[in-house]
Structure 1
Amino acid sequence: MLKSQRLAVLPIDSYDLADEFAVLDGHEYDGKYDAFTFGSWSAHVLANGSGAESDTSFRPHDGGLALTELGKQLPGIMSLVTAHFPLERLQWVRVFRAHDAIITPHVDFLEWGEAGTRLQIPLRTSEESLLSENDTVYHLRRGEVWQIHSTVPHSALTAGEVTRLSLCLDFAGAQEPVAIRGDVPATAPVHLVERPAPTAAELEHLIGGTALTRRSMRADFRRFAALHFARHAHAAAAFDWYVQAARRTGDDAIVAKAEAFRTYCIDKRLDGEAFAW
């Protein structure tokens, strides 16, 4: 059962954002989350606790919200935020950009004792952009407001020609609901994606088809992460398959690295910890 929830639909067509999308498409990214991403994926900070555009590593904070230089260049997107969402608990405003990309299955907020509330609103997307949660795959339509259940294994895939832009809002606290203003009625049911179960031959091809090496194992993980978007399996199964493939190499260092990557992504991670391949 999907724990993430569609909370609302915004009248996004009333906002003229094409010029601001162009700004985001040309904005550079410092690569802070490269351990979790494959392909072209980037995070762009519009507002945070410091107002510094270089301050891109997400973390809870006690201060107010300050616009970055990028946020000042995107008044339309920021007006969407201020028109529809309360600002008192809002800590981070970011836009995630993805093209031909996969986010590693992972659990958020492992670094901190308390989870916050994370909302995502696709600004530009296509049906080839998918999210997963546990063993469920779903699509977020443009303008839908989703509360992402990010404390279970979840992932994302963006395929096709369209570069996905998704507004991400992080609020302090996980218990109090976020009051959304000015939404419009949903006209379509939640878009869940049905997938057939993987066959034994498909799993054998995945696990045994290409031998992992110490040099290739980071890049090789992408195909393990991709399978559950096409076949019915739990997001965390990617790590099970990956460790099985590592064990077939007979190289203890490869096995240890594969197991450590699973721990880092879904079990335990320290504040500021970077995974070293």
Structure 2
Amino acid sequence: MLKSKRLATLPIPDLTAEFAVLDSQQAGGEYDAFTFGSWSSHVLANGSGSAKDTAFRPHDEAITPTELGGRLPGIMRLVTDHFATENLQWVRVFALQDGILAPHVDFLEFDEPGVRLQVPLRTTTEALHSEDDLVYHLRRGEVWQIHTTVPHSARSGSGPGRLSLCLDFSGTGFAPEDVIRDAVPTEQDIHIVDRQPPSAEELEKLLSCGDGMTPSTLRSAFRPFAAMHFERRASARDTFDWYVRAAERSGDPRLAEKAAAFRTYCIEQRAYKEVFDW
């Protein structure tokens, strides 16, 4: 069963001009270890008002728009018109184009996970999310509470980059539905993607990439493992198990150790602002 929840659907205005502003921003950021392809986290509001303050953390400050947030009044108005902001700590837009995220667990660095809502602003049917062994599509305007404490991922195709509004709220003592205002009825079924298990031949082809794996290719070699999770029915944890098995086939125990360390970093344990050393 999908643990993430679709809470509502919002009417999204024409934000074409503001999408162009986001598309012009430099890619990259605080979480490069998780990303393959083009992925960025654009901070529109946080506790400091500084666009350089990009590493997520809980805070007690009043939320303040960044310079980028000031250039995106339509998106910021979408936030203030449709969400109660008393517990709101971060407003970001995640941009993903021809990219994929390593399956990961959020908030491993913190004692309390908080509440994360996402609203796709621009998307295509090629833009997918995953949660454990399920893959699903978030439609434009749907408000989702993302279940962040199980391994999850996202993938986008080569067309226009997916832009998703991400709102992080502090605490867990409130119903996420209560912070949403003026939603429209949600009539469509949740879009779950049907996938078949990988065949023995497909799995062997994937694992065989470990035969020629080297320290310089270890990072780039992970992407097809993450892609298999979206294309065939498998859990996010299978992604890492396969990756470690492939690294073991390289004959270099250091590569298998590094692959296992990447699994730990993504879904088991990491420190605040810890950077994974490939």
Structure 2 regions of 5+ residues with no counterpart?
Answer: none
Picking from 22, 34, 38, the partner of 1:40 is 38
Secondary structure of the 2:93 match is strand
Instruction: List aligned pairs for 1:41-120, cutoff 5 A.
Output: 41-120=39-118
Which deviates the most, 114-123 or 167-176?
Answer: 167-176
Q: How many residues align?
A: 275
The residue type equivalent to 2:268 in the other structure is D
- Distance, in Å, in 2 between the alignment partners of 1:174 and 1:221 is 34
* TM-score, normalised by the number of residues in structure 2: 0.97
Instruction: List aligned pairs for 1:221-236, cutoff 5 A.
Output: 221-236=222-237
- Equivalence for 1:136: 134
- Distance, in Å, in 2 between the alignment partners of 1:125 and 1:92 is 22
Q: How far 1:159 sits from its partner (Å)?
A: 1.0
Instruction: List aligned pairs for 1:145-164, cutoff 5 A.
Output: 145-164=143-162
Instruction: List aligned pairs for 1:182-221, cutoff 5 A.
Output: 182-210=182-210, 211-221=212-222
* TM-score, normalised by the number of residues in structure 1: 0.97
Cα-to-partner distance string for 1:192-235 (whole Å, 9 max, x where unaligned): 00001100110000001452111101001000111010100001
Superposition misfits of 4+ residues, deviation over 4 angstroms: none
The residue type equivalent to 1:181 in the other structure is R
Q: How far 1:236 sits from its partner (Å)?
A: 1.4
The residue type equivalent to 1:217 in the other structure is L
Contact 1:29-1:44 within 8 A present in 2 as well: no
Identical columns (%): 60
Which deviates the most, 29-38 or 90-99?
Answer: 29-38
Contact 2:44-2:66 within 8 A present in 1 as well: yes
Instruction: List aligned pairs for 1:172-191, cutoff 5 A.
Output: 172-178=170-176, 179=178, 180-191=180-191
1:245–1:30 CA distance, 2 compared to 1 (3 A): closer
Cα-to-partner distance string for 1:124-167 (whole Å, 9 max, x where unaligned): 00000000000000000000000000100000000141210000
- Equivalence for 2:272: 271
Secondary structure of the 2:147 match is coil
Cα-to-partner distance string for 1:18-53 (whole Å, 9 max, x where unaligned): 110000000124521110000011110000010000
Secondary structure of the 2:222 match is helix
Q: How far 1:16 sits from its partner (Å)?
A: 2.4
The residue type equivalent to 2:115 in the other structure is T
- Distance, in Å, in 1 between the alignment partners of 2:158 and 2:191 is 18
RMSD: 0.9
Secondary structure of the 2:128 match is strand
1:208–1:175 CA distance, 2 compared to 1 (3 A): farther
- Equivalence for 2:14: 16
